[in-house]
Amino acid sequence: MFSRRADRFKSRGPSPSSASGAFAWSLMNTLVSRLGTLGIGIILARVLGPEQFGTFAIALVALMAVLSFNELGVSLAIVRWPGDPALIAPTVNTISLVGSALFCAVSWFAAPAFTSAMGDPEATGVVRLLIMSVLVNGAVASPAALLQRAFLEKTRMGIDQVNVWVGAIVSVALALMGMGAMALAIGRVLGSVISALLFIRASPLPYRLGWRREKVKPLLNFGLPLAGSSIIVFTIGYSDQLIAGSLIGTVALGYYVLAFNLSSWPVSIVSQPLRRVAPAAFAAIQGDPIRLRAAILGLFSVLGCATIPAFSALAGASVPLVRFVYGDIWLPAAAALSWLVISALAKVFCELAYDYIVVIGRTGKVLMIQIVGLLVLIPALVGGSIWGGLVGIAAAQAAVSFLVLLPMYLWQLRGAGIGITDVLGKLWLPGLAGVAVGCLAWLAATNVHHVFWALTLGGVAALTGMAVLVYLRRGDVLAIRGIVRAEAAAAIA
């Protein structure tokens, strides 16, 4: 079975329709996953409360820290590798597995010191259990990358749904039994293990360990800058939570994480599925600068139309949204949410620029951007926590993301012939629409006393704005579809 599947993978590559279908399946996967985790998250937040939610957030920060570099960045090389990926997959598996085992062991022993620094030593057991996911992730980094390379997002959807629902059902059941934050950790690890087995079974190539010395140096040369960049990306993305936990307490961290998760809804629904397809699509047309330029500008336009109105509605309706969905106990999260949507919006466009810069081989520039951003962010977050506590940290995160990181990413696109004015030309109309939607959502939130109807009016404004923008920019939507289809044809050739 593996032999026939591998032969098809090597000889045919993706069909002309598979790449265009990959984004659709990835989007559906994310939509279903987000709707499921949204419902489960509401139940867990109401059952656990801010303190236990904050305890799990501490463990999750530790997990995400190690996952940012555990496989040393080499799995992405499989997506971008110009030749037969079977030549490097066994070596990638070995590097990923050994690296993950090493970092998992170090994290296990470092857990008590980490939780003490975060002000919650009782979270040590949760951290140690959750960190086992690192080893699982490293074991299946290569199979997951092979599915991405082959645009097998339909298969990926099935695996991800098993992961989400197994973890969710177990977590809710254990939380209702009074296990607190440990319930979420057990559910997460169990879901990861089952999905890992499915990834290995679904891999286009058989899972083997190997070591080809001539491939190690090119893989590490490619992966280590990305791993270094990912560490800094993690620090930028999670330093707000680290500072919130260590300086203003576990309960405040619970509020902050809830607000952060709410602000990430549009990112999860649109940006994440795009990132599963975009690197492979960019890589296959990297030899055609004209097509690459059209692709990146078209994606900026489409992302702006799809996300800016949604973010604006979240900011304008933050108070009724938190009250309606999570209850009055969580209302302090609403003030942070209004700022964090700005950071999340900047993240959407930073990630798109990141993928583009990586594909054209300028990984060193990415690392430089992240280092500068980190040097600015840390003192800003500390100052924000002193100045305004929970809201101050959120405001500092928004300011650095939008005023420092995003301009630096856009500036690096100039090296590929894409000026900042070119990008702004694609985003000015979605920006104006976003201001209008945000104002309408805020007016509804402050003048309509029934939270359900206030949210309904804000949601209608957002959906209307998105629909009008997509219609006005339908040329960009069609152009992106054509580029993805052409990419698939190029992959076959």
Q: What is the pLDDT of residues 270-282, one digit of tens each?
A: 666 666 666 666 6
Q: Given this model, what pLDDT does residue 286 score?
A: 66
Give pLDDT tens digits for 115-133: 888 888 888 998 899 889 8
Tell me which DSSP letter residue 449 carries. Answer: -
Q: Given this model, what pLDDT does residue 13 score?
A: 47
Q: Given this model, what pLDDT does residue 464 score?
A: 95
Single-letter residue type at 35: L
Give the residue carrying structure tokens 């555990």. 70
Neighbour-count burial of 104, counting CB atoms closer than 10 A to its CB (0-12 exposed, 13-18 middle, 19+ buried): buried
- Give the whole-angstrom CA distance, residue 62 versus residue 356: 28
Q: Given this model, what pLDDT does residue 491 score?
A: 46
Q: Given this model, what pLDDT does residue 31 score?
A: 67
Q: Given this model, what pLDDT does residue 400 score?
A: 94
Which tokens belong to 30? 């994310």
Give pLDDT tens digits for 310-340: 999 999 999 999 999 888 999 999 999 999 9
Q: Is 493 helix (H, G, I), strand (E, B) or coil?
A: coil
Counting as low any pLDDT under 50, the low residues of the chain are 1-4, 8, 11-17, 490-493
Q: What is the pTM of this model?
A: 0.77
Give pLDDT tens digits for 161-184: 888 888 888 988 998 888 888 988
Q: Given this model, what pLDDT does residue 459 score?
A: 93
- Give the whole-angstrom CA distance, residue 73 versus residue 318: 37
Q: What is the mean pLDDT of the chain?
A: 82
Strand residue runs (E) in 175-279: none
Task: With CA atoms as reference, report the closest residue to 313 among 160, 158, 433, 135.
Answer: 433
Q: Given this model, what pLDDT does residue 275 score?
A: 61
What's the alpha-carbon Rg for the chain, to the nearest Å?
A: 22
Task: With CA atoms as reference, report the closest residue to 60 among 3, 129, 122.
Answer: 129
CA distances from 392 to 120, 174, 243, 258, 463 (A): 22, 35, 11, 16, 30
Q: Given this model, what pLDDT does residue 483 score?
A: 58
The answer to whether 96 and 138 have CB atoms below 8 angstroms apart is yes
